[in-house]
Each structure stands twice: as structure tokens, then as C-alpha cells.
Amino acid sequence: MALGEERFVGLAADFEGKLRMKNAILFIGRNMKEDVVRQIIGLYPWKIIATSRNTLPLEELQGIHIKIYSDEGDITAANLWKNDEFPVVYVWKKDESLNEEECQTLEITGESEEEYRVRRAQGMMKRLCKMIDNHNAMVVVGYAPETDNDMPYRAFATAVYNDCAIADNIQFWSEKSEETKLKKLADLKGIEFHTESLDEVLKARYEWNQSDEVKSNDSDAQYEIFYKNGKAVTISSREFLPYRKLAFVLTEQKVFAVRPYGKVMQAKWFYNFLIRSSADGPQWYGSIEQKKVGS
């Protein structure tokens, strides 16, 4: 493997490791080609996509129920973590005309159209930033506030700086020079900043996973058996490692590792298992089917 490719694979592994077990919000700016945007959308299981672009190539999301949000009031009231829809949030639609209600609002408040758009964008970014916590993360790509056509920096930076409580769960990916407003915000807030292209990093990771070297290493891996829909399924023991502190999968090897004998010992063993399964009391997950012997 070439040194550059190995570095990309390492970055991708670190990226996936930090987002593992988290809901990931992808924010896409205007400073990115459409084919690259399409690749990034398809290379990771994002939970929410937000953007300052006018449109997005959403072909990779075919078959998924997409819910479009482009109004501050709608996004404020919505539950964006619903599992039955995929939220796509348009934060800054500069070229879209204001509707009649918005025009009336400007007459009342005396705001200019630009001031209103900035305030609206900041409100929508604030809603997204407040969602970042120990279980939710945000990845920002293609945002270059130095360009004239992207969302104004003050709308983005104010929300990120004031409303993102956990900076460790935010990542900025920008191919521009480090001497940018985005880099200064990252340094001030303690946000992870990369100058590599995220799509190249994720493609390197994907190609590495498909390589013969990885497949040959997998042939030596240990596998365990569990049952899905009544059928035996094998899974590599390595897959359990990231989740070992969060969940205990009842594979066939673990179930049959200890076999208590006699009805009394079986009852005590199973009750002890239930007690240790949850800090809040017994929870039912499953058991070995016991066949009754007819008299």
C-alpha cells in the first residue's frame, strides 16, 4: 500500500471510530463539486443532511423516505431523529424568492432581505448545533465562508460557537488553506480540522476493505454463530470489539459456554443472567428452547 493511501486509510478508520454508535449530521457547503457531494452522501450512513446549497443530488437515497425542511419554524418543531424519514435541511437558499408571509414580516420588522435570510439561517443552524451531544455528531464539508455565494460566516459561526456544547463531536473538512475563518473557528472552539478531501479518505477506506490483503486476514479470524429469523448466521469476533462495553451478544458459543445441570441450577443460573443483564432490573432477551418430555 502506498504511503499516501495508507494515511487516507488511517484517517478513515479514525473518522469511523469517532462516529461509531453516533447519529451523524452531514453539513454540505457550496464549495464542492456535485459528483463529490454525491459520493460523500453515498459513502456513509448519515442520519441527517443539512446544506447551504440550493439543491442536492439525492440519487443515493433512493428508496428512503426523504423529508425536506426549508423553514425555521418547521425544523424547530420537528423531531429530526424519527426513524421513518430522512431529514434534508436547506439552511441557506439564497436564490429562492421570499413568500408573501415572509415579505410581510420584513415590512413589520424593518429588516432587509439579507438580514432576514441571515437570521433565518442562524436559527436553523442553532437548532442543528443544539442536537450535538454525546450521542450525536456533525461533519462539515465544502463550506468556504470566504466565497460570496455561500452562507454568511456570522450565521454559521455564531451558531457553532454558542450552541455546540461538545466540540469533540464536530469535524471540519476543508481543502482550502488553513489560514481561513473556518480554521480560526475550529482553533477557538477546539474542533477537529482536516485539509484532506473526505470523499478521497472514505474511498480509500472502502477500497482497502475490499482488498485481497483484508480478505486474507479475515480468513484467519474467529467466527461466532447467532440466529436470525431461525437461521444460523456467522459473524467475525472482531465485529464485537467496538461494542463490548455496550452490549453482550448471545452467540451460540456464549450460550453454551456454561451449561448448568438440574432444574434448580438452571433456574438460578438464568435468574442470575437476567439480573446482570440490566442495571434497572431483569429484561427479557431470549432463552434456549426447552422441550418437554411426555410422560
Q: Write the pLDDT tens digit of every residue in 137-164.
A: 999 999 988 777 789 999 999 999 999 9
Calculate what percentage of the chain has a pLDDT beyond 90. Answer: 23
The predicted-structure confidence for 38-55, as pLDDT tens digits, reads as follows: 988 888 889 999 999 988
| Sign of the torsion angle spanned by Cα atoms 259, 263, 268, 274 | positive
pLDDT of residue 273: 66
Task: Report the distance separating Cα 27 and Cα 11, nearest Å.
Answer: 19
pLDDT of residue 186: 92
pLDDT of residue 275: 64
Cα–Cα distance list, 151 to 93, 124, 140, 142, 143 (Å): 9, 12, 13, 11, 8
SS3 content of the chain, % helix, strand, coil (to 5): 45, 15, 40
For the cut 90, the answer to whether the pLDDT of residue 191 exceeds it is yes
For residues 214 and 261, the model is more confident at: 261
For the cut 70, the answer to whether the pLDDT of residue 76 exceeds it is yes
Statement: the pTM of the whole predicted model exceeds 0.75: no
**Residue 204 banded pLDDT, cuts 50, 70, 90:** confident
pLDDT of residue 27: 96
| Torsions phi, psi for 64 (to 5 deg) | -105, 140
pLDDT of residue 21: 75
Select 3-208's CATH number: 2.60.40, 3.40.50, 3.30.1460, 1.20.1300. Answer: 3.40.50
DSSP 241: G
What's the average model confidence in pLDDT over 226-236?
A: 72
pLDDT of residue 176: 67
pLDDT of residue 8: 74
pLDDT of residue 280: 55
Task: Report the distance separating Cα 33 and Cα 286, nearest Å.
Answer: 50
For the cut 80, the answer to whether the pLDDT of residue 267 exceeds it is no
pLDDT of residue 19: 80
For the cut 70, the answer to whether the pLDDT of residue 169 exceeds it is yes
pLDDT of residue 211: 57
- Bridge partners of 162, per DSSP, are none
pLDDT of residue 132: 93
**Residue 189 banded pLDDT, cuts 50, 70, 90:** very high
pLDDT of residue 149: 78
Domain boundaries, the chain: 3-208, 223-277
Task: Report the distance separating Cα 31 and Cα 15, nearest Å.
Answer: 21
- Please choose, from the candidates 168, 174, 170, 167, the residue with its C-alpha nearest in 3D space to the C-alpha of residue 199: 174
pLDDT of residue 277: 59
What is the pLDDT of the chain when averaged over all its residues? Answer: 78
